[in-house]
Structure 1
Amino acid sequence: MKSEEFTSSQAEVMFTQSMENLGFSLTTSAKVGGWGFSLETELDKGKHSESKQTHLTNSECSYFCSTKFRYTPMASCHFPIDQLQLSHAALQELKCLEDLLDQTTDPQESQVLKQWSERFFHRFGSHANQGPLHLGGIYWWKAVSKGFQNYHLVDIKQQAIEALDFYISGGYHGFGMNVAAGMNVSDSHSKAAIQNKTFQNLQTKFQLSVSKTGGPPEADDLAQWKAGLVASNQTWCVIDRGFQLVPIWDIILSSHRSDFKDPCKVAKCLKDNYTTLTGLVSQIQEGEEILSVRQEVRVFLDAVKSWEVSDPEEQLQKLINFNCYVMLSIPGSFFICF
């Protein structure tokens, strides 16, 4: 069971949307990685904006939301990098990038390539979630109050917690249905009447609601909802996308080499522009040294195709020498040169 509080409807909406789009782990962590996005920063902006507005005068009206949710994962899976592939639309856009690269003499200094990369990242993202991907459901309870005077905020917070606790306990057991040891039935009914009156008073101040992410939508309470969630995996939805993020340049080199004339060049361009745009240090999984060696091997092999057999021994020695150079250039390689 988790709980969150919001003094801004903007922050509440942002949290809900991030739970739907990013999942539980990334949303509830201190910072959210990915394409220049920090949930903590964005929520702080919303709270600061709301705080600035509500403290202009003591008579300013405010907003408060207290929410609790039951996060229930049922199954999980993890995607190996070779199972991650680009969408057709993203692939076509990257082929346009390759055409731009062919027309650019200095990719690292090109403002056109930086702007193109920024638009691509905003549209498609810079990373994919590798997992662990969790399937299941989330059951939400919410208490919202608005239109009160700002100096009542402390009292409103406390009453919202009470209202939500009453609301949730009613969902579990119903009011006044449990009789403690040593308590007679009339005492139980008296206690129930007091609880119901208290709840009714709180209910007039708060808009109380229940919502569900996944699970059977027709379920009336948590117990029915959870039973339906367990009974049918057809009711499950994605509730978490995990922390393991794979950059698009690694996906290109892992799954889409054959789709580009020079996949290493495209991958390096995206990686360099991501670093420039976000200020975040990034690496290519295969390493910069290996990419450079790959390029040199490609150039050498193209030259070999044009060789004419004039001095076989000399040409064989060139092949041996180049092989030794390649092995020396790859960190951690074990090699023998003759």
Structure 2
Amino acid sequence: MPLDLKDLKTKDFAYDLPKELIAQTPIEPRDASRLMVLDKETGKIEHAHFHDIVNFLHPGDCLVLNDSRVLPARIYGIKEDTGARVEFLLLRNRGNDIWEVLCGPGKRAKPGSKFTFGDNLLKAEVLEIIEDGNRLVKFSYDGSFFSILDQIGQMPLPPYIKKKLENKERYQTVYSREVGSAAAPTAGLHFTKELLQKVRDMGVKVEFVTLHVGLGTFRPVTAEHITDHQMHSEHYELPKETADAINETKKNGGRVIAVGTTSCRTLESVATKEGCIKESEGWTDIFIYPGYQFKALDGLITNFHLPESTLIMLVSALAGYDHIMNAYKVAVEEKYRFFSFGDAMFIH
């Protein structure tokens, strides 16, 4: 019996996933991962590899990628007065070297507490405790803050990845350039520079938006009814050249395909706010779930998402709840690799 979209509950987006299907390491080369191709109208499934994406794109399509770059945002320091070890996770730049951070253990990071990181390369003072128990912290240093982070910081890998990442760049897309994310826009991890060039050579436009991924992307939905869930807010930019390319694609009958849910949320946020696709910058807390009418998007390249997450709700809105839940069941049966370092799905 079909579910009433108005009465969808968080538990309706649960599925059984054996732990061994959670990818712990990235596959080599990047585009060797598997690709499930899902027809959103019929629910038909095809199995391929990511480098086959060129067989499913058409000349005149437009791919929209998120060029945000992940901060090596996990840093370990010493409390100046006690020598106690503390972990900071940088969440958001508030300007003037003030950052919103997650501290652990929190009891060591009271307002006024001072810390040093990386043999005094970086110093920090806690200014105040804000909502969610996060801290506002003022950093001081000589030189470039981001260069120091590159030296001493670690990638903030999701909690379900237990293995150490040997090469930091494998948690970055090959086209990342705008530093600011607390997590990678992982659908783009499958692209190599050569594959992107192949896509361009076949007459597909490749354009960029920036959405800095917040840590809220990993937060589970705890509300029983999905409509009671409050989304976290993330900063986005959609440049003029991308807007122009999307509008030209639409006018000529091509498809607009987002690479990743972050690119999708950027496009849909702008289309909702502006009433059309145009140059735009701001903050979005758009929550896309079944029943949502897409305004900009025709297709989506994405990974396989956590049960009961806002991301599985988003793909269910695009492809239909029944089609997605069946596709995930098939993915488990076919032993696809799941989550950030896992395999990909193309919904068209």
TM-score of the aligned structures, taking structure 1 as reference length:
0.22
Report which structure shows greater RCO (CA 8 Å, sep ≥6). Answer: 2
Which of structures 1 and 2 has the bigger CA Rg?
1
Per residue, is there more helix in 1 or in 2? 1
Per residue, is there more strand in 1 or in 2? 2
TM-score of the aligned structures, taking structure 2 as reference length:
0.21
